[in-house]
Structure 1
């Protein structure tokens, strides 16, 4: 098998395939993060207490961890939407290195932010489901069942977004190593 001469400016077909896969993974991450932010931000439940005039209400912004989760997921969603332009650029010109490095760094930062928000919300959801007997915090999910289900579902979408971001980081690393 003969190897041809190395030509500068010729893009290996594998890098174009990586760029196309990158472009198709970004909308999946957008859907996961944006849907989880919307689901969390619209979560509330009201329970009557003794009468119709006294009610207990659970909203996402009652807990700062949930607010941080919504803000982090929204920021990552906005970043992913803006990064679609770079992804399209990499399909057209797969030999760009600086923009690929920039995407790698920003994807890593976005993954860290999304993971931090998801972890903070997960800790509160765990506490809502199980409670903590040592400090007399009771589980509230027995009373606020739909609130807890919706919040838990929101976390699933967010963790799916984290997994897709990890795949995007790995793809960028592979594309950079082929240069």
Structure 2
């Protein structure tokens, strides 16, 4: 009796290219999740440790700027930390997709959670970007003065932390697209 490829547990020859492409997408998904973890974790750490003290003409008065002075920056740190934790936990599903590239339900779950984390991270980064813009440029109509001329180190560090967060946003967007492509190929 002749045993066919499907009965022997092997995928049919037509599905072999699909499986290898899906496996390649899964490997790329894993690598991109690690990049996003690095970006969001770096952003949370950079913002969370940002402060600067300016000396004044007397020893009793000093001017201090900390990230925790602004609720928007605190939200930014929390959003990046939560997204980092999610991305670390999602690495397990990403490894599962490398092993079993035809999984549909877990890919759907990842797309849903990736989309929620994308929205969460975007809201935190956008709010922080608005505050950073005001810190750099100010708003003369509202009598908000640009503080970056005085707190230069603080502003540079806060601006740098935004870069990692926006890299995380871009990577999450690409992860959603790649997962959707892999899901549509099944």
Distance in 2 of aligned mates of 1:51 and 1:86 = 58
Give the secondary-structure state (helix, strand or coil) at the position aligned to 2:52.
Answer: strand
1:96 has 2:96 as partner: no
Give the CA RMSD over aligned residues: 1.8
Shift of 1:9: 8.7
Q: Which residue of structure 2 lines up, in the alignment, with residue 112 of structure 1? A: 119
Distance in 1 of aligned mates of 2:108 and 2:49 = 36
1:35 has 2:47 as partner: no
Give the secondary-structure state (helix, strand or coil) at the position aligned to 2:92.
Answer: helix
What does 1:58-77 align with in structure 2 at a 5 Å threshold?
58-77=65-84
Distance in 2 of aligned mates of 1:81 and 1:46 = 35
Distance in 1 of aligned mates of 2:90 and 2:62 = 44
Q: For structure 2, list consecutive stretches of 5 or more residues without a partner in the other structure.
A: none
What does 1:1-179 align with in structure 2 at a 5 Å threshold?
7=12, 12-179=19-186
Give the secondary-structure state (helix, strand or coil) at the position aligned to 2:148.
Answer: coil
Shift of 1:120: 0.4
What is the number of residues matched between the two proteins? Answer: 176
